[in-house]
Amino acid sequence: MRNIYYLKSNADASILFKENHLIIGKPSRYSDQFIIDDKMISPDYFDFIINPKIRENSYFVPIDFQQDIYFKSFWTHDFSNGKRYKSLFMAGNFGENYSNAYNEKLFNTINRYDVKTLIESLDCYKNLEVKDEFEFFEKVEDLSIYLIEKKNGYQIPPSKLFFYLSKFDFFFALPGMYMPISHNIIEAMSVGTIPFLQQSYADIFQPQLENGINCITYLGIEDLPKKIQYLFSLELNQIISLREEVIKFYLENLTPKSIVANIINPQNSKVYLMAEQYSVNQLSLKLEKNNNISDTLCN
């Protein structure tokens, strides 16, 4: 029986067919290619939350850039050098649809909408209204927070995203819609911009990000303003040290080359895929099942 797959022309998976290195068919019996079967891979990325032991001898394929960034080669330019502002920056969406309960219930992270609401009350928050790139950087200052809303005002073109990220010392890594991990933190780290994120978010990384080594973390909404003050008090040598570690982490764990190397590493007997909302749903179902079992035992 033949397997037939239908892919929409605008689907993410359809990009595979535009690559020059995709071969469809049965590998040769004597091929030296590395073959992954269904027994080796799992979309249950967050199983380590229930069973921490699976971190051993397993590889967790990380989320990475948005697919268009790879395909259109927006990521290939070197933006690691040049003047940076000692400020926090993030560009994205911040609407009420980011206030769902998934992040708090499953991952103990504050949702993006609530964090932005708090940030807007701080004196260091700057709500810029600009028409273009020139006006934006003419108004940018040190010791400030810039959250650029995609739906309002000036839009940062995808081709310019890495340039913008490279102009700031710190990236405000707010959680995604259904889970903390988002493409944007990987994009920021690729140009050496230091992640500022909640500790529970840092703990989900595989391997985990380390506070004071390759990121700066806050515990919750209560200590967030104080941690922002600490962030802006860092000396230049501390920032440079953090940036070097961020780039090191990115090169060792988040580049296509490092991902392939980890997948084919014989020490990794299981490969967990980041299937985004599917992985989140699987975690939710398993936690609910475990809670029901616990309730039954208690009764």
CB 244 within 8 A of CB 15: no
Q: At what angle do helices 112-119 and 224-233 cross, to 10 degrees?
A: 70
Q: What is the pLDDT of residue 137?
A: 93
145-149 β-sheet, strand order: 145-149, 85-92, 168-172, 194-198, 216-218
Tell me the two tokens of residue 210: 């380390």
Is the per-residue pLDDT at 100 higher than 70?
Answer: yes
pLDDT band at 256; cut points 50, 70, 90: confident
Q: What is the pLDDT of residue 299?
A: 41
Q: What is the pLDDT of residue 88?
A: 98
pLDDT band at 15; cut points 50, 70, 90: low
Measured distance CA(239)–CA(52) in Å, rounded? 32
Q: What is the pLDDT of residue 65?
A: 83
Name, in order, each residue with C-beta under 8 angstroms of 214's C-beta and a sequence gap of 6 or more: 194, 195, 242, 245, 246, 248, 249
Is the per-residue pLDDT at 261 higher than 50?
Answer: yes
Is the per-residue pLDDT at 96 higher than 90?
Answer: no
From the list 88, 74, 71, 69, the residue with the least C-alpha distance to 14 is 71
Lowest mean pLDDT among 13-17, 95-99, 263-267: 13-17
Is the per-residue pLDDT at 298 higher than 50?
Answer: no
Within a 13 Å sphere around the CA of 137, how many CA atoms are in the beta-carbon half? 12
Measured distance CA(4)–CA(66) in Å, rounded? 27
> What one-character-per-residue DSSP string does 177-245 give?
SSSS--HHHHHHHTTTPEEEEEHHHHTTSSSPP-BTTTBEEE-STTTHHHHHHHHHH--HHHHHHHHHH
Mean pLDDT across 165-185? 94
Q: What is the pLDDT of residue 191?
A: 93
